[in-house]
Structures are given as C-alpha cells and as structure tokens.
Structure 1
Amino acid sequence: MASAPSGLWQDRAFILFWTARVVSIGGSTITAVVLPILVFQLTGSALQTALLATLEVLPYFAFGLIAGALADRVDRRRIMVGCNLVQALLVASIPIAAALGALTLTQIYVVAVLVMTAFVWFDAANFGALPALVGRGQVVAANSAIWAATTVVGIVAPAVGGGLAAAVGAANVIALDATTFLLSALLLALVARPFNQARTEPAAPEPILRRTLSDIREGLVFLWRQRLVRTMTLVGFGNSFSAGAVVGLLVVYAVQALGLPETDGRIGLLYTATAVGGLAASLLLPPLARRFPVGRITLAGLAAHMAVLVAVALAPSFWSGVVLIGLWQLCNTLVIINGIALRQQVTPDHLQARVNTTARMVAWGGQPFGAAVGGALAEALDVRAALLLVGIGVAASVVYGWFSPLRDAAPSVTTEATVEAQP
C-alpha cells in the first residue's frame, strides 16, 4: 500500500471504493480456490475441472462489447451495485443446494457462468469509475493500491479457503462469498462522488440499439488505431492462453504433479502463492514504470513468464512448486496491470469502459482456449506435459512483441497524457 500517495488515503470516496474491492475480491478468492476443488471432488476429471476456467471467461466474449458501450452511457455505480447483489444470490445457491443434497456439476457450471456474466458488467463500469474518482494522474497509484491490498487479502484467503474446505466441506465455504458481495454493494452505494465524468449528450439522442452499436464501433476504432494499446492487447492474448491453462489446472497440478490428496488443505497454498506473486508485481510496477518504457516492461514480463512456466512444469516437490507458481504469477500480473494502466491513461473518459472491456476481452480471450487445451492435454498425457506444451502461447507473444512497436515504445505508464489515436 505504500505505493499510493498519501492523498488517496485522505479521500473518503477512494477509501470506500478500495474497501469494497478488497472485501469482494477476498470472498471471490476463496471461491476461486474452492470451486475447482469441488468440481474435482465430484468428477476426478482434469478436463472437467479445467472446463470451469473456460466457462468463467466465455461471458467476456458474449457481453464484453455491449457491457463496455453501455457502461460509458449509464450510471456506473448502479451497474456495480446491481451486479454485486445478483452475484450474492447466485453464489448463495451453491451451499443451499448442497445442504439439500441437490448440488450438481451442471449447477456449478451455470452459477460460474452467470456470476462471471455479472462480473463483466461490473468490471466494465469499474474500469471507467476509477479514473473518474481519482483522476488520471492517480490511476497507476490507485490501481497499485487496489492490487496490493487485494493480493494481501489473497495471501490469507486461499489458505483459509483450502483449510475450511477440508474442515467443513467445499460447498459450505462458498457462503462467505455471498456475504462479501452484499458488503461490497453497500460500500459502493455509500460513495458520494459520481462514477462518471460529466459529458454533453446530443439534443436528440439516437435509439438505444443504434447508439450502442455506434459506441462499440467507436471503441473498436480507438483500440485499433492506438498502436501501443493495440499491440499490448494482442500480446495479452498469448499471455492469457498460457495463464488460462495454469489457472484451470492448478488443483490438478497439486494432486497429480505435486502429490497432494484432493482434500488436502495445502492446495490453497498454491493460490496463496499466486497472491504473493500478484502483490509483488503491484508493488514493482510503479518504480519500474518510472525507469523503463512501457513496452520493455511488458516484453520482460512475457519472457520471464515463459521461462518460469517451464520450471513450474518440472517442479520436483510441493514447496518448489509453490515458490515457482508465485514467481509465475508475478510475471503474469506484471503484464496484466501494465496493460491496464496504459489503457486507462491514454483513453478518454467517455471511451474508458468500452475500450478497456474490449481490450480485456481480446487480451484475456486466450484464457478459455488455454484452459480447454490444457485440460485436454492433461487428460490425454499428464499435467506436466500439458503445462510445457501450452507455453507456446506466451512464446508467440514474446516473438510478436519483439518485432512490434512495443519493443521501442517510449512512453511510461506514469506519464499523465492522453495519446491521440494513431494509424
């Protein structure tokens, strides 16, 4: 948290917003550990466990463009609060069904898809809300403060989730997440400052469908013409392909490669390691961004991701696997938040949600494919071979990035500027 200027911690609106994100992500982190454990306990299948990660990303493809366009037009706070309430109800259905003896794999999949659908709308509004709340000059510091805080929570939450799942059953632990969604909704509702900057609307507004399509087109044009954002988005696809396989196979990796029983609470420590890696990345980015160009940071992160992924696949013991997973997540997170900060700084406010959601849809688009391919490879071969083979995604991003404008990109993400779209 030291990366955030003191002014942010004197800003009640930011503190409420920050607390809401920390609380919600804390509960969701526990669920992220417990749901794959629950699926693997029900099925014993690497493919069906990895399929959960695939399904959780698909809503970005279905609703990302529409959510991004509408979130720039309507009250972002209402979207975020409403989505939190819907997520609370959906998540609560899992422990209720388990208590009644009626929980099925189909219900878990459906809840996962619907919760992530709500998250797409929440996230679209969140991207635009933060710059409106803190100003462009504070975006890197505010993002780093949120990432740092939520990953500190994430260091504790996975171990707690894994331990509770072993003690009281995986389905029962998910009830905690429903509570955190409700608390997040309350905190966001208490923020007095608008989540949208004022903008002038035409005297005769267009019909909603035409306006939405026009907004989507405008966001796509900006994304494509802004060369640095475009390149960062495309290399993100390969990065997320490899990352999707790791995330989708983490429980399988713990059981099949590292030798843990599927009910072992230590599985949560692998998720804790990802939180530590994410925290390290959030703390490293601001000083790195002051010293190095944005493109070099991304290329270094991608190359390190590729090398560490090989080491993860070959880890000889549980504790070496934990350490290497943490290093892997450091590299992965550095690439992600570097891209987010860049987009938030160079994108005009009225395009924030649609550009960021569209870019994230493309950049994270590799994740469902990586999870599905990784699951199929783990089922056909083994989990170590699967992790080695899916490294081709991040390797492709390194090659493409090196021969793209990203290699020589001069701007730093800490530079407050609005970059005009370039062909």
Structure 2
Amino acid sequence: MTQTAAPVPPDAPAPAPGLLRNRSYLLVMSGLTTEALGAGIAVFAVPLIALSLTGSVWQAGVVTAVGHTGALLATLPAGVIADRVDRRRLIVLTASIAALAWTAAAVAAVTGQLSVWHLGGVLLASSVAGAFVEPAVAGAFRSVVPQEQLATAYAASQGRDAAAGLVAGPVGGVLYGIAHAVPLVAAAVGHLATAVCTWLVREPLNADTAAARAVRPVVALREGLRYVWSVPLFRLCLGLFAVINIAINGMFVAITLDLADGGTSPARIGLLSGVVGASMLIGAVLAPTIVKRVRVGRLTPVALGLVAVAAGVMAVDQSYWGYVVALGAGVLLVPAANAAMAGYSAAITPPRLQGRFSSVMDLCATVAMPLAPLVGSGLLTLIGIGPTLLALSGLLGVTVVAVWCARPLRRIGRPETWADDVVDPGGQAADQPPSEART
C-alpha cells in the first residue's frame, strides 16, 4: 500500500528560496566579497608601507594603531544611526567615503607625497567609515536572510573572508612589489563595490524607522547597551573576546613585521597569508556541517585551543615553514566557530536592535584593531619573536579555559534549538514569562 503525503494547509508559508536564488543576499555578498579582498590587500600592504616610510618596526605598529582609533570612537554611535536611518543609503555613503580616502592615498603615493601621517589619516577615515558600514550591513543581512538560513549564510560569510584572505596576501605581495599605490587602489575599488552592490538591492534593508527616530539617540544607545548587558553570553563576549582578538591579531602583526624586518620578501609573506586564507576557506566549506552537528559551546573552545597550540608551536620553531604549517592547522576551525556565534547572536536578537547590537559587540574587534599592532610590535621590539609568541600562546590558553568553563556559552546547542533562546530587549526569552526566563 502506497502512502500519500499529508496535505499542506492553504495558509502555510511557502519555503524560503535558497541563498543562491536570493538576489538581495547575492548582491550584498558580492559587494562585501570585493570589499573584503580590497581590505585584505590593504591590511597586508599598509604595515609594509609604514615600515618602508619609517624604517622602524615600532613606528610602523604605532601608525597602524592610530589609523584604527577612529573605529573605536565611532562604533557605538554608528549602531544607533544604523537603526534610525535607511541602511542602504548609509552603506552607500560611508563606503563611498572610504573609497575616496584610499583613492587620495593612492594619488599621494603616485606623486611621491605619501607620508606616514598621511597614511595614518587615510586609515583613520577608512576605519570611521567602516564603523558605520558594519552595523548597517549586520542589520541588512538579517533583513535579506531568513532565520532558518542564518547559520549557512554566516558560514558563507566566513568562506568569503577566507577566500579573500587566500587571495589578498599573495596578490597584495605582488601589487606592493609593483608600486606602493597599487594596493591602495585595490582598497578603494573594494569599498566602491560595496556601495554599488548595496544600491542595487531592491527590498528595504530595515523596517519603518519612524519609531526608532522617535527615541532620542542617547536613549536608543542606552537601550542597546542595556540589551547586550542583560544577556549573560554577550556580557562574556564583550570582555573575553576582546582579549582573544588582541592576542590573535597581535600574533599576526608580530609575525609579519618580524619576517619583513628580517628581509623576507613580500611575496613569501603574502604566501603565508594565502596559506592561512586557504585553511580558513576549507574550514568555511566544512562550517555548515560542523555547526549542524557540534554544539556551539563545545566548538568554540576547541577552535580557540587550536590557535593557542599553533602559537606555542611557532614559539619553538621560528622558521618560515614552521609558521606556514602551524598557522594553517591552527585556524582550521575558526570559521565554524565564528559562523556559529554570529548565527546564534543574530537569531536571538530582535530585528530593531540589530544595528546597535552589532556595534556594541564590534567593540570586541574594534578595541583589538588599535591595540593589536601595539601589542605585536611592542612585544616584538622588547623581547623578540619567540617570547612574544609564547606569551600570546599563554594568554590564549587562559581564555580557552575561561570559555570552556563559561556556562552561558557552554549551554548553547545546535541551530535547531536557537529559536528557543530568542531574547526580548529586556534580556528574557521572548516566549517565556519573566519567572521562567533562562540565563
């Protein structure tokens, strides 16, 4: 006897189209992919340009750090603005400003007028613009991707960044070898692509902003801060993940500057960056499967532990190929952990708070941007590359223990259970009365 499928209720919602058939998602991703490539080339080239202009590892680190302080100051106001204005126009405007800043730097490099302070100023302007793009994109992303596809979409974002990292290092090394201006042009093109692709998105990237504009900006900022602080997981991330970002980015800065100062060619340094990108690309391909099968609370400390072990191995074997093997293996699970955390956070945060949530949480990465070059170059100058890597490995090891023991993180399961954790602005589960809210 054959069985027939149960009839579908006439009012049942149609299944969401796949991500590859989602025009708005593809446009947003295309722009961000090009921007990630251009930004990766700039991130690779700027320390080398600063080193060539100053002749000092420490000064190159300082210039890079100063350039990122703008994002630190602009991040929280940017989140408030992203929830109050049309996100499409905000992304187009700020990405265009960043493109103009990098274009000005390229022109100065061609004319021989690029100074170290000019370079720092361009980094400053670009970091401020980027601070506005990030929360606007986070809110836009949530607007064009259905909740059940968030884990896959964020895994694809990790793949995007990994692919950009795979290409950016080797390409950045080649472009830097041609002329200092060429990597700066690549950064300008990347930001311009984000502006153009976002402008072509047809659907609204946020809901009606009238209610948000009716609330004073300071009150809106307090609401965003209160929401993040009310969720134990987010409180944990604010402090702990800031330390993790500083340690990991400081490690990469120290390795890059040590290799460059030791005479390693930009092409070989770019190859190292490419290996890291290739490993993360493989990790991003595996991420959807890993996230579906492994609880977030277990995946995160394991991924972080691999990075800590890699830093310890490099502290012992300070050879170029030792760096290649250790870094390639160490970052393999990072995309899956990032995708899981980002997908879970986006899934439980109310849409109207997406911009402010993103900006508050971006402080973890934003604080690292100016501090990581100082930590990496400072430790390298004071104690050398071996002790620097050993110290950062120890710091990462401590954070692994803290993450493993943190109950708010340990309790997070797989994507099918995330909907049960949806949180209202008061920090309570949206479908539970206050007395039953989980922490």
Contact 1:128 1:195 in 2 (8 A): yes
Q: Which amino acid aligns with 2:422?
A: V
Q: For residue 143 of structure 1, what is the aligned residue in structure 2?
A: 154
**Larger RCO: 1 or 2 (CA < 8 Å, sep 6+):** 1
1:264-285 Cα distance to aligned partner (Å, 9 max, x none)? 4221112212322332332333
Please point out which of 390, 402, 405 is paired with 2:404.
402
Please point out which of 215, 224, 230 is paired with 1:219.
224
Please point out which of 304, 307, 313 is paired with 1:305.
307
Q: Secondary structure at the match of 1:89?
A: helix
CA distance in 1, matches of 2:140, 2:227: 19
Q: Which amino acid aligns with 2:181?
A: A
Q: For residue 242 of structure 2, what is the aligned residue in structure 1?
A: 237
Q: Secondary structure at the match of 2:211?
A: coil
Contact 2:158 2:338 in 1 (8 A): no
1:24 aligns with 2:35: yes
CA distance in 2, matches of 1:44, 1:410: 48
CA distance in 2, matches of 1:187, 1:280: 26
Q: 1:245 to 1:414 in 2, by over 3 A?
A: farther
Q: For residue 4 of structure 2, what is the aligned residue in structure 1?
A: none
1:101 aligns with 2:112: yes
* Identical aligned residues as a percent: 25
CA distance in 1, matches of 2:256, 2:58: 12
Contact 2:151 2:339 in 1 (8 A): no
1:406, distance to aligned residue in structure 2 (A): 4.0
Contact 1:245 1:370 in 2 (8 A): yes
1:96-139 Cα distance to aligned partner (Å, 9 max, x none)? 11222211111111111110110010001011110111122221
Q: 1:363 to 1:40 in 2, by over 3 A?
A: closer
CA distance in 1, matches of 2:183, 2:65: 22
Q: Which amino acid aligns with 1:387?
A: L
Please point out which of 112, 116, 130 is paired with 1:119.
130
Q: 1:114 to 1:328 in 2, by over 3 A?
A: farther
Q: 1:304 to 1:156 in 2, by over 3 A?
A: same
Q: For residue 185 of structure 1, what is the aligned residue in structure 2?
A: 195
- Higher alpha-carbon deviation: 146-155 or 104-113: 146-155
- Residue ranges of structure 2 left out of the alignment (5+ in a row): 1-15, 429-438
Please point out which of 323, 326, 344 is paired with 2:325.
323
Contact 1:241 1:390 in 2 (8 A): no
Two-structure CA RMSD over aligned residues (Å): 2.4
Contact 1:140 1:414 in 2 (8 A): no
Please point out which of 274, 277, 298 is paired with 1:275.
277
Q: For residue 393 of structure 2, what is the aligned residue in structure 1?
A: 391
CA distance in 2, matches of 1:180, 1:369: 25
Q: Which amino acid aligns with 1:44?
A: G
Q: Secondary structure at the match of 2:18?
A: helix
Q: 1:337 to 1:60 in 2, by over 3 A?
A: farther
Q: For residue 87 of structure 1, what is the aligned residue in structure 2?
A: 98
Which has the higher Rg, Structure 1 or Structure 2? 2
Q: Secondary structure at the match of 1:196?
A: coil
CA distance in 2, matches of 1:408, 1:153: 31
Q: 1:151 to 1:244 in 2, by over 3 A?
A: closer
Please point out which of 195, 206, 231 is paired with 1:196.
206
CA distance in 1, matches of 2:313, 2:88: 43
Q: Secondary structure at the match of 2:202?
A: coil
State the aligned residue count.
Answer: 410
Q: Secondary structure at the match of 2:206?
A: coil
CA distance in 2, matches of 1:312, 1:98: 35
Q: For residue 362 of structure 1, what is the aligned residue in structure 2?
A: 364
CA distance in 2, matches of 1:312, 1:112: 30
Following TM superposition, the consecutive aligned residue runs of length 4 or more in structure 1 with deviations greater than 6 angstroms are none
Q: 1:183 to 1:408 in 2, by over 3 A?
A: closer
Q: Secondary structure at the match of 1:181?
A: helix
1:181-201 Cα distance to aligned partner (Å, 9 max, x none)? 223211111111111134662
Q: 1:313 to 1:403 in 2, by over 3 A?
A: same
Q: Which amino acid aligns with 2:55?
A: G
CA distance in 1, matches of 2:366, 2:191: 24
Q: 1:367 to 1:82 in 2, by over 3 A?
A: closer
CA distance in 2, matches of 1:156, 1:407: 33
CA distance in 1, matches of 2:345, 2:33: 22
Contact 1:299 1:402 in 2 (8 A): yes
Q: Which amino acid aligns with 2:253?
A: G
Contact 1:76 1:195 in 2 (8 A): yes
| Mapping of residues 42-81 of structure 1, within 5 Å | 42-81=53-92
- Residue ranges of structure 1 left out of the alignment (5+ in a row): none
1:79, distance to aligned residue in structure 2 (A): 1.1
- Higher alpha-carbon deviation: 132-141 or 286-295: 286-295
1:416, distance to aligned residue in structure 2 (A): 4.7
1:370-416 Cα distance to aligned partner (Å, 9 max, x none)? 33122111112212222222334323322322332146314324545
Give the TM-score normalised by structure 2. 0.86
Q: 1:382 to 1:332 in 2, by over 3 A?
A: farther
1:12 aligns with 2:23: yes
| Mapping of residues 344-355 of structure 1, within 5 Å | 344-355=346-357
CA distance in 2, matches of 1:51, 1:317: 26
Contact 1:76 1:125 in 2 (8 A): yes
CA distance in 1, matches of 2:217, 2:279: 38
Q: Secondary structure at the match of 2:331?
A: helix
1:260, distance to aligned residue in structure 2 (A): 4.1
Contact 1:244 1:369 in 2 (8 A): no
Q: Which amino acid aligns with 1:188?
A: T
CA distance in 1, matches of 2:373, 2:314: 16
Q: Which amino acid aligns with 2:280?
A: G
Please point out which of 316, 327, 331 is paired with 1:314.
316
Contact 1:241 1:367 in 2 (8 A): yes
Q: Which amino acid aligns with 1:382?
A: G
Please point out which of 119, 126, 129 is paired with 2:140.
129
1:11, distance to aligned residue in structure 2 (A): 1.4
Contact 1:343 1:356 in 2 (8 A): no
1:235, distance to aligned residue in structure 2 (A): 2.4
- Higher alpha-carbon deviation: 95-104 or 245-254: 245-254
